[in-house]
Every structure is written in C-alpha cells, then in structure tokens.
Amino acid sequence: MTAPVSRETEHQPAAPERDGDEWRDAVASALPSTDDETPLAQELASDARRRLRLHGRVFDRPETTRILTVANQKGGVGKTTTAVNIAAALAQGGLRVLVVDADPQGNASTALGVEHHGDVAGIYDVLMDEMDLADVIQECAEVPGVTCAPATLDLSGAEIELVPVVAREYRLRRAIDRFVAGAAEPPHYVIIDSPPSLGLLTLNTLVAAREVFIPIQCEYYALEGVTQLMRTVELVKQNLNPDLDVSTVLLTMFDGRTRLAADVAAQVREVFGAKVLSASIPRSVRVSEAPSHLQTVMTYDPTSSGALSYLEAAQEIANRGVPGHE
C-alpha cells in the first residue's frame, strides 16, 4: 500500500533539492543581470552563473566504456590540453577516466603529474612487449578518478620498431580492450592523446578508439589538415576499424574578439554540424600555465574561464553518450 499523500504536498511541487540540478539552475537564473555598459561585471556575473550550474554536478555514466582518441595531425592545436582537461573535468563530474598518452612527447603525462622518465613502464612497453596496460597505469594525484598510462621517450622509436611487428596496427586496441574487459571497475572513458602525425602510433590510436575527437584551433588553415585526417579516418574505417566515427569537434584557443575566430568557427560548424560542441575553449593564460605546475587547469585554477569551458564541454560529451539526451 502506498503512503497517503498529505494535503500540503498534494498540490505543491516539491521544493528543488538543495544542491540538486534544479536548485542550481534556479539560483543561477536568479543572479541579477548587468547592463551592457559594464562588460567586466557582465563577464563576472556570467562566469558566476556558469560556475553555479556546473560545479559539483554529477555527469551521466555511459552504458559501456567510451574510447575516444584526440586527433589532429596539425601540431599545437590543443590536443593534449583538451585530452587532459576533458579527462579531469569528466572525473570531477564523478566518472572514472583513463588517459592513454600515445605521444612520445609525453605532454599529457606531464600535465597529469605522472612519472614518465626512462625507467618507468609506459605505452612503449605495452605496444612492443605486450605488457598489460594495468601494469603501467598510474593514478593522477591531483585529480581523483583519473589514471594515466604514460608515454616515455622510447615511444618515439616505436614508430619504426612497430613496422615489422605482427598485427602492428591492432596492438593498442588489444591492450585497451583486454584491460577494460578485465578491470573490476572499468573506466567510463578512455581518452587517448595522439601525436601530431599520421604514422603508426596515430594509426594504433585510430584503431583502438571508437570515436575520434578533433580539437580545431580557430586560425587560418584550421581546416586544411583536418581534410587529410578525415581521409585517414575513412580509410581506417574501411580497412581496420569499422566502428570508428568522428563524434566530437571542439574549437580551441577561441578569441571571441577577432573576426577571424568567428569566421573559422562558422566554417567548422558548417562542415561538422552537430558534432561541434556548443562550448568552445577561450585562449587563456591559465590554461597554458597549468602544465608547468604539473596540473590541469581544472585543479590549477578551477574558477577560470578556461576550466569552466572545459567543464561545459565535458558535460556535453557526457550527455551525448547517454541515450535520451539530444
């Protein structure tokens, strides 16, 4: 038998739970708006609203582990920055995330503060010696929920050493799939940081992933390299990994004050449509400073606009991974 509903609660909607999503939205909307003549105050108020809406929010969990490779063969477009900050943001949303550093530069390992000097086991050992991924993974001390399989310098040799190896394109996929299948608590997300090239390492990441996540820097020629990447993705899909799809595009280092950035953004949205996240990442000194403190911006300066943007982007990604969300 169901409990009787009291007269009071029968006709009144329940007050939003404090700290619940509705409560956050209500408080954020209640913040007074500012007029256009005070841009700084306006920005602060807007950031305060975004912070209220996002901080402490628990993201939806995907039904199975989502494996994304962050790829763009153009150098310096924000691949690593995006990989580590989206990983940290997803973890701050309550999810378990494994970052696989497949770039010999080891920048993702640095930003996550994990050891990756010569004596440390890393992705090289996984690819060349079939070491278990579980045996090279380290915890990221700054962000609970994030783990990382580091890249050491010897990984640069793998590009050539892999050439004669049997099933050389499938090495990373096998390692990740075996790890996910055998883990007591598998990660909700595996995010792979790939190098700025289309060699065997990048090929391994495209075969291992189910989704390609392309960061695009808002500058001249932004789309030129992407055309080549799209061709490679198509070839991989036809020959090696039929499950692969470009699922996500993120505009990085966006400077809203310039006409160029707006033009590039419009062009990217025309080409990729709904794959482009609504959130874009602003050019921000705090974002670029964070790695030198062995941190992501999500812990280095969580209230900065860069961190907020990555949190918004992560929430969009999480929403898209769950049926029922648009």
Q: Which residues bind Mg ion (CB under 5 A)?
A: 79-80, 107
- Tokens representing residue 236 in the block: 């991989």
The overall longest dimension of the chain from CA atoms, in Å, is 76
What are the φ/ψ torsions at residue 174 (nearest 5 degrees)?
-60, -45
- Tokens representing residue 64 in the block: 């199975």
**CB-wise, 60 or 215, nearer to ligand ATP?**
215
SS (H, E, C) 77-128: CCHHHHHHHHHHHHHHCCCCEEEEECCCCCHHHHHCCCCCCCCCCCHHHHHH
Residue 205 makes contact with ligand ATP by CB under 6 A = no
Q: Where are the beta strands (DSSP E) in the chain?
A: 66-70, 97-101, 138-139, 146-149, 189-193, 211-217, 245-252
Least distance in angstroms from the C-beta of 217 to ligand ATP: 8
Q: Are 62 and 190 in contact (CB under 8 A)?
A: no
Stretch that binds ligand ATP, among 16-24, 152-160, 239-247, 283-291 (CB under 6 A): 283-291
Residue 110 makes contact with ligand ATP by CB under 6 A = no
Q: Name which of ligand ATP, Mg ion, none residue 75 binds, using a CB cut-off of 5 to 8 Å depending on partner kind.
A: ligand ATP
Contacts of ligand ATP in 5-64 (CB under 6 A): none
Binding-site size, ligand ATP (CB under 6 A)? 19
DSSP state of 198: -
Residue 103 makes contact with ligand ATP by CB under 6 A = yes
**CB-wise, 78 or 145, nearer to ligand ATP?**
78
Q: How far apart are CA 50 and CA 215, in angstroms?
A: 22
Least distance in angstroms from the C-beta of 116 to Mg ion: 13
Least distance in angstroms from the C-beta of 144 to Mg ion: 24
Residue 107 makes contact with ligand ATP by CB under 6 A = yes
**CB-wise, 81 or 248, nearer to ligand ATP?**
81
Q: One-letter amino acid identity for 312? A: E
Residue 218 makes contact with ligand ATP by CB under 6 A = no
Least distance in angstroms from the C-beta of 237 to ligand ATP: 23
Among 106, 145, 306, 321, binds ligand ATP (CB under 6 A): 306
Q: Is the dihedral of CA 129, 81, 52, 300 positive or negative?
A: positive
Residue 79 makes contact with ligand ATP by CB under 6 A = yes
Contacts of ligand ATP in 80-99 (CB under 6 A): 80-81
Q: How far apart are CA 265 and CA 255, in angstroms?
A: 10
Which residues are at the interface with ligand ATP (CB under 6 A)?
Answer: 75-81, 103, 105, 107, 196, 252-253, 281, 283-284, 287-288, 306
